[in-house]
Amino acid sequence: SEGIAMAAYESSWILWPVDMQKDLLIVITAAQKPMKLSAGGMAVLSVQTYSQTLYNGYSIFAVLNDIVN
C-alpha cells in the first residue's frame, strides 16, 4: 500500500478532469497511511509481513503433506 500514493502522484493527473483529480487526492491521502493488521492484539503486522507468514506457513504445510502421503 505504500507505493500506491507515489504511483498515483506520478501519473499524468494534471491532464485529468478536475473531479478525477479530487478523487485521486483522496486515494493519495488514504494510501499514505500504511495498512496494518493486529495479531491478536499482541503485535502489529504489515500486510507484507502477513502475506509472507501465510506463504511460509503454506510451504511448510505442503512439504509435510507430501511427506505424510
pLDDT for residue 11 is more than 70: yes
Q: What's the one-letter identity of residue 21?
A: Q
Q: Are 21 and 28 in contact (CB under 8 A)?
A: no
Helices marked H in the chain: 2-9, 18-31, 47-68
- Average pLDDT value for the chain: 83
Q: pLDDT band at 5, cuts 50/70/90?
A: confident
**Nearest Cα residue to 31 out of 52, 53, 11, 55:** 11
What is the model's pTM? 0.47
Q: What is the CA radius of gyration of the chain?
A: 19
- HSE at residue 63, side-chain half, CA atoms within 13 A, is 5
